[in-house]
Amino acid sequence: MRIGIIGAGQLGQMLGFAARDLGMQCRFVDPAPKPPAAVCGPVIQEAFDNADALARLAASSDVVTYEFENVPVDALLKIAERVPVYPPPVALGHAQDRLAEKQLFQRLAIPLPEYHRVDTFDDLELAANRLGFPLVLKTRRLGYDGKGQFVIRRPAELGIAWHECGGADLIAEQWVNFDYEVSAIGARNVSGDIICYPLTRNAHAAGILQTSIAPLQNEVLTRRAEKYVTTLLRHLDYVGVLALELFVRGEQLLANEFAPRVHNSGHWSIEGAEPSQFTAHLLAISGQALPEPRLMAHAGMLNLIGKIPENLQLPSAATLHDYGKAPRPGRKLGHITVLGDSAAARDTLLAQLCETVMHSTPQ
């Protein structure tokens, strides 16, 4: 089976490693020279919307997928005329526009924070009157890892937020005083079978994911999140892995956004579950059966952002994944997974690891 992947970053690399174990071949499109996934297969070094490069990818693949969300939907629809493209481009279309995404959550009765569409400064003032302060102003498109958003704390900041966010095509969102954040990862295959991973608890700093732990031990929230993910997967006639990010406030779950792809908050599944999210994605898009995920342990994941410490002494229960990227502040360069026999053992290991990484010298 030949898998064409648009994007050759770390997600492509981890898909590539999983593909190798399944006896599949991968080929990528990515404009970067020597991207992380180049170790897994040939890379057509062109822009993500280069029609010729995408046509070449489609011509040499049995199925095409993407690890990068800013691929033009039209470009995907074009290659879908020649070869199956999963997840379906319509799902990507919703995920690329925060307004369409929120309207979809509403239609499917998935609870979400209150929001307002903002096209003019008057809209923003009206939204502020209705939502109160603080509120979050977000660009509808091209925002990720907290980029393209501004937390407005008082009326005097409305003007600068308006300019910072580009002054058009925005969403104003109620500030959620959440207890913590979770993600619900599920997969659906070509036959429509669905699997769900246990709920993962995530901690972000400056909008970037820092740590994840799984399974979250809360049956009520887990069942509810599974229901939301299943609803999304069915409604979108989805094929592949999908991650739904949610805020937890008391017993309430509020949907923030979904990613139509394998997700950083599921990296723990490489060591922590069988199959991993990467294997599940490949099985799903290649028309194979999806085994129910079996948990191997209590898992934790720490992102290595901006630096990978030198001479890291890791316990045997920890695994380092170095994506082979050049260091740059704020850049995800790798991650470490830890496994514990109990949630407490996992939490201790993860806390020690965070301490070591924070006080280490960069490579």
Beta-carbon contacts of residue 180 (< 8 Å; ≥ 6 apart): 201, 202, 203, 248
249 forms part of the interface with ligand AMP (CB under 6 A): no
260 forms part of the interface with ligand AMP (CB under 6 A): no
Residue 256 CB, shortest distance to ligand AMP, in Å, is 5
Closest to ligand AMP by CB, 31 vs 146, is 146
Closest to ligand AMP by CB, 101 vs 271, is 101
204 forms part of the interface with ligand AMP (CB under 6 A): yes
Cβ atoms within 10 Å, residue 23: 7
Can you tell me which of 67, 101, 157, 173 binds ligand AMP, judged by CB under 6 A? 173
Can you tell me which of 31, 146, 167, 309 binds ligand AMP, judged by CB under 6 A? 146
Closest to ligand AMP by CB, 245 vs 271, is 245
143 forms part of the interface with ligand AMP (CB under 6 A): yes
Question: In the chain, which residue ranges form alpha helices assigned H by DSSP?
Answer: 10-21, 51-59, 73-80, 89-96, 98-107, 121-131, 158-164, 219-235, 269-272, 277-285, 343-358
Give dist(CA 151, CA 127) in Å, integer: 13
Give dist(CA 298, CA 317) in Å, integer: 11
Closest to ligand AMP by CB, 2 vs 204, is 204
Closest by alpha carbon to 124, among 95, 96, 152?
Answer: 152
CA distances to 72, 93, 258 from 140, rounded to whole Å, are: 15, 12, 14
Can you tell me which of 42, 155, 192, 207 binds ligand AMP, judged by CB under 6 A? 207
141 forms part of the interface with ligand AMP (CB under 6 A): no
For ligand AMP, which stretch binds (CB under 6 A), given 44-52, 56-64, 173-181, 282-290? 173-181
Q: Which residue is nearest to ligand AMP (CB)?
A: 176
212 forms part of the interface with ligand AMP (CB under 6 A): no
113 forms part of the interface with ligand AMP (CB under 6 A): yes
Question: Long-range contacts: 260-263, Cβ < 8 Å, 24+?
Answer: 260/69, 260/87, 260/91, 260/92, 260/95, 261/11, 261/65, 261/66, 261/67, 261/68, 261/69, 261/87, 262/11, 262/14, 262/15, 262/67, 263/183, 263/185
Closest to ligand AMP by CB, 72 vs 146, is 146
For ligand AMP, which stretch binds (CB under 6 A), given 40-48, 172-180, 272-280, 311-319? 172-180
Beginning with the edge strand found earlier in the chain, give each strand of the sheet holding 149-152 in spatial order. 115-118, 170-174, 135-139, 149-152
- The answer to whether 306 and 48 are in contact (CB under 8 A) is no
Strand-pairing partners, residue 200, are 183
Tokens (6 digits) for 35? 């991207």
For 106, half-sphere exposure in the C-beta direction (CA atoms, 13 angstrom radius) is: 10
Handedness of CA 196, 199, 203, 204 (dihedral sign): positive
256 forms part of the interface with ligand AMP (CB under 6 A): yes
Show the site string, 175-194: x = touches ligand AMP by CB under 6 A, - = not: xx----x-------------
Tokens (6 digits) for 255? 């949907």
Closest to ligand AMP by CB, 13 vs 256, is 256
Residue 196 CB, shortest distance to ligand AMP, in Å, is 21
68 forms part of the interface with ligand AMP (CB under 6 A): no
Can you tell me which of 30, 101, 157, 257 binds ligand AMP, judged by CB under 6 A? 257
Closest to ligand AMP by CB, 77 vs 175, is 175
Closest to ligand AMP by CB, 67 vs 271, is 67
Q: How far is CA 237 from the centre of its chain?
A: 19
Residue 93 CB, shortest distance to ligand AMP, in Å, is 18
- The answer to whether 113 and 257 are in contact (CB under 8 A) is no
Can you tell me which of 71, 136, 302, 308 binds ligand AMP, judged by CB under 6 A? 136
Which residues of the chain form contacts with ligand AMP (CB under 6 A)? Answer: 113, 136, 143, 146, 173, 175-176, 181, 204, 207, 245, 256-257
